[in-house]
Amino acid sequence: MSHPRALLPLIAEGLRPPEDVRAHLASCESCADAVEALSPLDLGYVWDGVASEADAPRPGVLERALVRCGVGDGTARFVAATPSLRPEWLLASAGTLALAALGMAARPGNGLSLVVLLAPVVAAALVAFAYGPASDDAYELVAATPLSPLLALLLRLAVVLSANSVLVLAADVVAGGPGLRPSWFLPMTFVALVAAGVGVRTSPLLGAGAGIALWSAAVFTTVSLSEEPERLLWGAVAQVLYAVGSVAVLAALCALVVRSGGFVTGANERRTA
Amino acid sequence: MRIELRGVSKSYGAVRALDSVDLDLSHGITGLLGPNGAGKTTLMRILATLLSPSAGSVRVEGLDPSKPRDRLELRRRLGYLPQDLGLYPRFTVFEFVDYLAILKELDERRDRHRRVRAALAAVGLEDVARRKIKTLSGGMARRVGIAQALVADPSLLVLDEPTAGLDPQQRARFRELLASLGEGRQVVLSTHLVEDVAAICTSVVVLWGGRVAFHGTPQDLRERAAGRVWSTAEPSPGALTSWRTETGAYRVVGDRPAGDAAELPPTVEDGYLLLTSGLGEPVHA
Amino acid sequence: MRTDEELIAAMADGDRGALELLYRRHSPWLAGRLARATSSRDLAEEALQDCFVAAWRNPRSWRGEGDVGAWLWAIARRRLASLARKRVDVPSPVPDEALGEAADQQALANLDAARVRAAVDRLPSEQRDVVERVVFRGQRLVDVARCLGVPVGTLKSRLHRARRQIRAEMDA
């Protein structure tokens, strides 16, 4: 069609043109430039805004939930990007605990609770892969941002331990246990923190391995030494030890992160020097 | 921005990656040249507030990265591209740059999204904004890294090997971008391509075995080869380099060869070769 | 060439190019109406942006009845109203009746190129010159600015005055 030039000032004043004129505006550079010059609004600027919002992904479920609870945008996004909170990790953990729970439910009242025994093992794996140069691909990029490294560490630990606690709680209830009980929480936390500490300094795999080895050793020793392994593993004395141990490991981990200025290079520091 | 390094050393166990480095850098684009293991990445990480030196002091615009408060302030002004760039393969291009932008305290969502789009446009990635990072080529991934370094409008840009993995067109485009970014801010980039430095840098630092072997303008480096580059009819085995050019004559860098020889204008690369030939084998960290 | 309806369908399949085309077709007149509905330019721009973002995120809210333009205007109008409610410093937007379809149809019916030309001819000479160059000869604003040695901003404000004057004459 010929250029609908006489219409352009009226379109720029809000007149809705017929469809053929609209199509012309989208395909004719010269008319588009003229109408943009006439427009009372900055059409290019608005388009940049439209395009950027269209390209921006919608925040995920966890991130939206955190923001609704009053958590800052940046913090929420950082938590939601935790490597070991990805669906396959959570599914694997939930699966392991579910198997244990079903086993327990099939043969109730039979000695040590499998769920409670496995809780620290699952937590060690999840936590070791939550933070650190080897488990977070963008660790070095994140470390160079103003995000407080201590906050970053604590956030990741807290969110992964919470997720794991929910899974254990559910599994314990399925298995016929009381759910909320002190027997699993403190040993789980302690073993997870050991895994995190070793993991940050070396590699997540070694970290998880260290946590699991520590817990297995404790379980086998008590089972072979004592008639009442529950008392030794979960009694008052043991709980105090777990609590003290957790605080000590956490303090050491925080000190390490603070002293390094947020860039814990661990074992691979020399390789990339 | 002004960067001052005084007696900066960094050791990993027995290996000395940096050995009493003194440097003063002011506005413009500084290129860090040197072979692998010369200490480039260590120096970049120190400037990016990620490593603290074993000895010596660092000041960036008066800020001391060893003090937590100064370090935080510096990180607010910093754009950093690491050599080993780690991205989240399952994020989209936009999502990843937006993630870093949010960590860089760009809290206002709409404004942040606009900046992300502008940063992606600056590196020519606006059309793949919604693609997953795992579907990108190596050169595109590198450009995602450059986009995240630019997104918060930093006054100090630390770019470790920014042109690695880029093809010649992308490199040319990147140089244009960088030349425009160099105005009004401090850019430090490391590279092993002398041509990058010759094309865009206002100053050059050559690191060799953890020490500063040269600091000056690209022209200064080129001048070192003045009167040491020749064209002859015969190969010159004793020279530093000697190769047959497309005209059939030999281009010789080094002392004046025997026989007929015409002096040629030197390049920055000639200067670099002559400089480093006098330094012996670099100590590999 | 794709119709508006086809563009909406393509957007539902995630086609960003379709969004851009839809924007190029509809943003000019929507911008004009929003700017007439409110005295705040920021608000009008925000409403225009929100309108297309909403269309992109939820293209299925178009039920396939009537004109796509009417659907877009309904979204833009709602967004403008809700944005204006949050801002105490901005007077509430002009009610839709004053801007809506009836006025449009009237203007379209009255429209004839000769009348627009006549309205342009009655403009003050400075304004007429810019309209002549930019609208009728298709010169780019930056080129006109260089040619006349006048800043782009000045030319823009001349165009704005001219545009309002022309519309007023056509509505009369």
Residues of B within 8 A of A78 (CB-CB) are 103
Look at residue A217 and tell me whether its pLDDT is greater than 90.
yes
Q: Pick the residue with more confidence: A139 or B240?
A: A139
- How many other C-beta atoms lie within 10 A of the C-beta of residue B155? 16
Q: What is the 3-state secondary structure (H, E, C) of B74-117?
A: HHHCEEEECCCCCCCCCCEHHHHHHHHHHHCCCCCHHHHHHHHH
* pLDDT of A273 higher than 50: no
Judged against a pLDDT cut of 90, whether residue B5 lies above it is answered with yes
Residues A132 and A200: beta-carbon distance below 8 Å: yes
List residues bridging with C8 in a β-sheet: none
∠ CA A21-C137-C21, nearest 5°, is: 30
Show which subunits contact B, needing at least 3 CB pairs below 8 angstroms: A
ipTM, two decimals? 0.90
Task: With beta carbons under 8 A apart, name residues in chain C contacting A10.
Answer: 107, 111, 116, 166-167, 170
**What does chain B look like in DSSP terms, one character per residue?**
--EEEEEEEEEETTEEEEEEEEEEE-SEEEEEE--TTSSHHHHHHHHTTSS--SEEEEEETTB-TTSHHHHHHHHHTEEEE-SS----TTSBHHHHHHHHHHHTT---HHHHHHHHHHHHHHTT-GGGTTSBGGGS-HHHHHHHHHHHHHTT--SEEEEESTTTT--HHHHHHHHHHHHHHTTTSEEEEEES-HHHHHHH-SEEEEEETTEEEEEE-HHHHHHTTTT-EEEESS--TTSSEEEE-TTSPEEEESSPPSSSEEE----HHHHHHHHHHTT-SPPP-
Hey, is the C-beta of A271 within 8 angstroms of any chain B C-beta? no
* Residue C119 Cα distances to A55, C112, C133, angstroms: 43, 11, 16
CB-CB under 8 Å, C36 with A13: yes
Type and span of the H or E element at A92: helix A87-106
Is the Cβ of A147 closer than 8 Å to some Cβ of chain C? no
Chains in touch with C (3+ beta-carbon pairs under 8 Å) read A
Checking if the pLDDT of B283 tops 60, the result is no
Residue A188 pLDDT > 50:
yes
DSSP label at C62? Answer: -
Q: What span, in angstroms and rounded, lies between the C-alpha atoms of B154 and B106?
A: 12
Strand partners for B253: B229, B241
Give the A window 25-44 contacts with C, CB below 8 Å: 25-27, 30-43
- Rounded to the nearest angstrom, the minimum Cα separation between A10 and chain C is 6
- Amino acid A270: pLDDT: 44
Strands B186-191 and B28-33: parallel
Q: Is the pLDDT of residue A74 over 90?
A: no
CA dihedral defined by C108, C110, C114, C119, rounded to 10 degrees?
-100
Judge whether A87 is closer than 8 Å to chain B, CB to CB. no
First-to-last alpha carbon distance for chain A, in angstroms, is: 65
CB contact under 8 A, A144 and B80: yes
Mean pLDDT of chain B: 89
Number of CB pairs < 8 Å for A and C? 153
What pLDDT score does A113 carry? 80
Q: Tell me whether residue A127 is exposed, middle or buried, using C-beta atoms within 10 angstroms of its C-beta: 0 to 12, 13 to 18, 19 or more.
A: buried
Query: Is C31–A46 a contact, with Cβ atoms under 8 angstroms apart?
Result: yes
CA distance A79 to chain C (A): 26
Which tokens is B112 given? Answer: 């942040």
Confidence of residue B285 (pLDDT cuts 50, 70, 90): very low
B85 touches chain A (CB under 8 A): yes
Model pLDDT for residues A44-65, shown as the tens digit of each residue: 999 999 999 999 988 888 889 8
C111 and A36 within 8 Å at the Cβ level: the answer is no
Q: For A92-132, write each residue's pLDDT tens digit.
A: 988 988 888 888 777 766 567 888 888 899 999 988 888 88
Q: Which of A55, A131, A155 to mutate to test the interface with B (most CBs of B within 10 A)?
A: A55
- Adjacent-strand bridge partners of B242: B252
Per-residue model confidence (pLDDT) at position A272: 43
pLDDT attached to residue A267: 46
Find the mean pLDDT for residues A67-78.
Answer: 85
- In angstroms and rounded to an integer, the radius of gyration of the C-alpha atoms of chain B is 21
On whether any CB of chain C is under 8 Å from the CB of A86, the answer is no
- Residue A156 in 3-state DSSP? helix
| Lowest-confidence segment of B51-60, B111-120, B121-130, B257-266 by average pLDDT | B257-266
Decide which of A176 and B114 is more confident: B114
Residue B219's pLDDT is what?
Answer: 92
Q: Of chain C residues 15-74, which have a CB less than 8 A from chain A? A: 16, 19-21, 23-36, 41, 44-45, 48-49, 52-53, 56-57, 67, 69, 73
Q: Which of residues 41-60 of B touch A (CB under 8 A)?
A: 41-42, 45, 48-52
Distance separating alpha carbons of residues B33 and B221, to the nearest angstrom: 12
Report the pLDDT value the prediction gives residue B215, as an integer from 0 to 100.
94
- Of C67, C66, C70, C72, residue with least CA distance to C19: C72
| Chain C residues 73-92 with a CB less than 8 Å from chain A | 73
Render each residue's pLDDT in chain C as its tens digit; 172 residues.
889 999 999 999 999 999 999 999 999 999 999 998 998 999 999 999 999 999 999 998 888 888 899 899 999 999 999 999 988 777 777 766 666 666 666 666 667 778 888 888 999 999 999 999 998 998 999 999 999 999 999 999 999 999 988 888 877 7
What's residue C98's pLDDT?
A: 60
Q: Which residue among B66, B99, B117 sits closest to A77, beta carbon to beta carbon? A: B99
pLDDT over threshold 60, residue A268: no
**Is B55 a residue whose pLDDT tops 50?**
yes
Of B224, B181, B261, B266, nearest to B1 by C-alpha is B181
Tokens representing C110 are 């009255």
